[in-house]
Amino acid sequence: METFRVLVVEDDPMVAEVNRAYVEGAGPFTVVGTARTAVEGLELAAALAPDLVLLDIYLPDMDGLAALREIRRRELPCDVLAVTAARDVQTVQEVLRNGAVDYIIKPFKFERLQATLLAYARMRARLRESADLSQAELDRWRAGLGSAPSVRQERSLPKGLTEWTLRQVLLYLVNANRPLSAAEVGNGIGLARVTVRRYLDYLVQEGRLGVELQYAPVGRPVYRYFLR
């Protein structure tokens, strides 16, 4: 499957990095740029020609809905996925009316975003393979987006783990950009090694991290974790 290019428009740098890690861990996607304002996002969308824009609604210069309308006015060849804390009915309706492929409300689980991204990738791949589509194919695509796991369907975190700390652990590994031990991550974010190890092992089980065993001339071997 081809790789799809994604632009992340998010004013919070930590959330932007987590979203980038989530996107690139979801499947055939690569983040080609990040923007902290709507104006910067519009400039990058025009310059980088991404397949998909992950767009926040609450931005410091103009709201994401206005940015989405501007993307459509300029006829930029990209799709838009709203990822935002905005949940009022009017905003949701207007974003969808202006052609967003889906609307994901923060905070969200990795599985929710992954389900939408993979449905999107399947449909884009099919569009590039054929000059026309059947009604059944369109219905399957729309069902794939609409049936992404709900809050009740998503797997909950194991007892004792929190979404906030999980994101801290993931973000620290993203910024380090190299394999780290549980002790190194714990020192970096101010948590005990044993606590961090639980989060790291959970991320390995979910397929978002890999782990390697590093042997030393003396002492015990050390497990080091890295982004997949």
The model's pLDDT over 44-54, given as tens digits with 9 standing for 90+, comes to 999 999 999 99
Q: What is the pLDDT of residue 7?
A: 98
Q: What is the pLDDT of residue 148?
A: 46
Q: Distance between CA 39 and CA 59 in Å, rounded? A: 10
Q: Residue 84, CB half-sphere, CA atoms under 13 Å: how many?
A: 24
Instruction: Judge residue 9's burial from the number of C-beta atoms within 10 Å of its C-beta, 0-12 exposed, 13-18 middle, 19 or more buried.
Output: buried
Residue type, 113: L
Which residues of the chain have a pLDDT value below 50? Answer: 147-154
- Please, which residues have CB within 8 angstroms of residue 148's CB and are 6 or more apart in sequence? 102, 112, 115, 116, 119
In the chain, at which residue ranges do the beta strands (DSSP E only) sit? 4-9, 29-35, 52-55, 79-84, 102-105, 209-214, 222-227
Query: pTM for the complete prediction?
Result: 0.68
